[in-house]
Amino acid sequence: MNLQPIPCAAGQGPLEKILQDKTLFPVYQPIVTLEKSLVYAHEALIRGPRATPLHTPDALFRAADAEHLRFELEHAALSTILTNWGARSAPGRLFVNISATALLRMFQRWGTEHLVRLVSQRGVRPRELVLEITEHERVPDMDALSSAVTAIRSTGVSLALDDFGDGRSSLRLWSQLKPEIVKIDRYFIHELSSQGDKLKTVQALQQIASIFGSALVAEGIETAADLRVLRDLGIAYGQGYFLGYPEPDPKPLVDRAALRVLGESQVAVFPESSRVASSGLISSLDITQAPTVSSDACNDAVARIFLEHTALHALAVLEGHKPVGIINRASFMNAYSRLYYREVWGRKSCAMHTNLAPRIVERDHNIDELVGILTSQDQRYLTEGFIVTENGRYLGLGTGDQLVRSVTETRIEAARHANPLTFLPGNIPISQHIERLLKKQLQFVACYADLNHFKPYNDYYGYWRGDEMIRLMARVAMEHCDTQRDFLGHVGGDDFIVLFQSQDWRLRCERLVAQFNHCARELFDENARAAGGIQAEDRHGVPRFFPCTTVSVGAVAIDGHLYTKAEEVANLAALAKHDAKAGGLGLFLRPA
Ligand code: C2E
Ligand code: MG
Ligand code: MG
């Protein structure tokens, strides 16, 4: 588009000209209640003259800064918007942006009377108006802003915090101002439906909002998928291009495509957080409080400690608070108990028995690093254990079996959230999703899939190729799910659960079974494929012929009115699987 420059007089800036000619105008973007699908309010966004370089707010504010007219622009925008809105008698509330600095300046200059006059002279009721505080990060005096907000609120005008979470916003401000409304920055909304971390952040903001008594607006909703997730999360209000673009006239109704999404009875499949799929911090690391010796201690002193503390497997050697070595009890006491040892070596330094490269573990070690210790060449930690530190300072000792135990426990806990092999959601998210379906009393189909003759395959070709088979199942099942509607979880081993909301679930299952059975054959060696299976030992160690691996899926149609517990649904699906396997069937639908 060809942009026309603003025609200014000599010495006049373009913004000054715009303010003088009063050529600012607003556009309105709807804010929608996600539960009832109604237009709740409109946010007014200021615009400069069309087809000029100063059409967008960004350009206007840049020019205002250059011409030192920032406050004047903000005040003119507010006044223009109120005039325009007041002349329309449109239903719903009006959200207007104002920076914290301008709000404070207006209040300090003229008190609240000015705002009340500005509003009521234009036929707008104070209760209709919500001031969105922008650029709150620049608040120089929080207490002053807090008193201004209290005074403004007493006139009936409501307050909102804009763009919360854009990196500069402060939780303290939220807590101090207790705004009626907080608008979540669109960064957290964009692709929320596929990014588990964003979902968790929005859920955390919901908790904070309930503490401070604020309602949330999700900004920047651009897709049906993100809108579904927000609706299911129970976010009160939404705004974004998918619900309606900013336009010169306020719109009384929500866009048709958005209405369709908001009216759907199905629940959205929430994304899983990437964090649980990878490693996390160790959940608990047992620490033994144990005495220490300094690096210049003699062998007699070390022996005294070992004799006094009979359960001590090792002793940490410190320089100040910093561990520098470890003495193994068994090897030390072996030497010490030899004839004449005490007489000859008793007063000599213990350095001769000290391992100067001890295993040191920071208390909040990452689990991967601990696994590194377990699998390293140097296995001395099994006998002498390791030293636990906090910020490099000695805390206590740990033993090899304590380490193995806490790594295993952390791994098992993580696998309940996401399977480490397939990264699919594990038992906890599976149960949570079933509960969401039941809570909404929906009709859905719960399927339990299990591989046939997988164990002989795993025994025959080894666990590495066994893992390939499991991953194949995950991949094929994923391909036949509608990621927005159908939830795929990995219970463990070769057991999977699919919770279908797709109407064509039967066709999807049949295709899944056919595709898996075909691809699974490809994972066998050529001669096994030719023979149709392998010769392997059964559970009793007796050699037998096993056909190539296939999948059985047991399905059960669930009426959400009839159940309240996820466990009941999982059990029914497991029974259906049992029937499918017993009947040698690919897909079996069990009457509920
Ligand atoms: P804001 O208050 O956060 O306004 C939302 C901005 O996001 C608007 O840009 C809007 O057009 C845009 N937007 C809305 N839905 C979507 C979406 O789905 N996706 C994307 N990518 N963007 C979306 P706009 O109109 O350019 O305004 C930019 C900023 O300028 C506003 O951010 C606000 O901080 C400021 N502003 C606008 N009008 C006024 C005003 O009258 N007074 C003051 N003080 N500031 C204003
Ligand atoms: Mg805004
Ligand atoms: Mg905003």
pLDDT band at 478 (very low <50, low <70, confident <90, very high): very high
- Give 339-394 as a DSSP string: TTHHHHHTTSBGGGG-BSS--EEETT-BHHHHHHHHTSS--THHHH-EEEEETTEE
pLDDT of residue 432: 95
Residues 494-512, buried b or exposed e (16+ Cβ, 10 A)? Answer: bbbbbbbbbeebeebbeeb
CA distances from residue 543 to 267, 451, 456, 474, 540 in whole angstroms, order as listed: 49, 20, 10, 30, 9
**Is residue 570 scored above 90 in pLDDT?**
yes
Distance CA 100, CA 90 (A): 27
Chain-wide mean pLDDT for the chain? Answer: 92
Distance CA 303, CA 292 (A): 12
Tell me the domain boundaries of the chain. Answer: 19-263, 282-410, 419-590
In contact, 449 and 547? CB cutoff 8 Å: no
Q: Which residues surround ligand 3, an ion (CB under 5 A)?
A: 162-163, 219
Ligand 1 atom nearest to CA at 241: 18
The order of strands in the sheet holding 314-319 is 292-294, 314-319, 322-328
pLDDT band at 315 (very low <50, low <70, confident <90, very high): very high
Q: Is 30's C-beta closer than 6 angstroms to any atom of ligand 1?
A: no
pLDDT of residue 283: 54
Q: Is 29's C-beta closer than 6 angstroms to any atom of ligand 1?
A: yes
Ligand 1 atom nearest to CA at 81: 41
For the stretch 353-362, pLDDT in tens is 999 989 888 8
For the stretch 388-401, pLDDT in tens is 998 899 999 988 88
Q: Is 537's C-beta closer than 6 angstroms to any atom of ligand 1?
A: no
pLDDT of residue 278: 43
Q: Average pLDDT of 269-296?
A: 73
Mention the CATH class of domain 19-263: alpha beta
Q: Average pLDDT of 409-424?
A: 84
For the stretch 452-477, pLDDT in tens is 999 999 999 998 899 999 999 999 99
Report CA(219)–ligand 3 centroid distance (Å): 6
Q: What is the CATH number of domain 282-410?
A: 3.10.580.10
**Is residue 1 scored above 80 in pLDDT?**
no
Q: Average pLDDT of 30-41?
A: 97
Higher pLDDT, 84 or 411: 84
**Is residue 279 scored above 60 in pLDDT?**
no
Nearest CA to 322 among 362, 281, 288? 362
For the stretch 194-243, pLDDT in tens is 999 999 999 999 999 999 999 999 999 999 999 999 999 999 999 999 99
pLDDT band at 336 (very low <50, low <70, confident <90, very high): very high
Three-class SS state of 584? coil
For 236, the token pair is: 């009160």
Distance CA 356, CA 358 (A): 6
**Is residue 181 scored above 60 in pLDDT?**
yes
Higher pLDDT, 351 or 410: 351
pLDDT of residue 406: 77
Nearest ligand to residue 246 Cα: 1
Mention the CATH class of domain 419-590: alpha beta
**Measured CA angle at 228 (ends 35, 188), to 5 deg:** 105
Q: Average pLDDT of 313-329?
A: 94
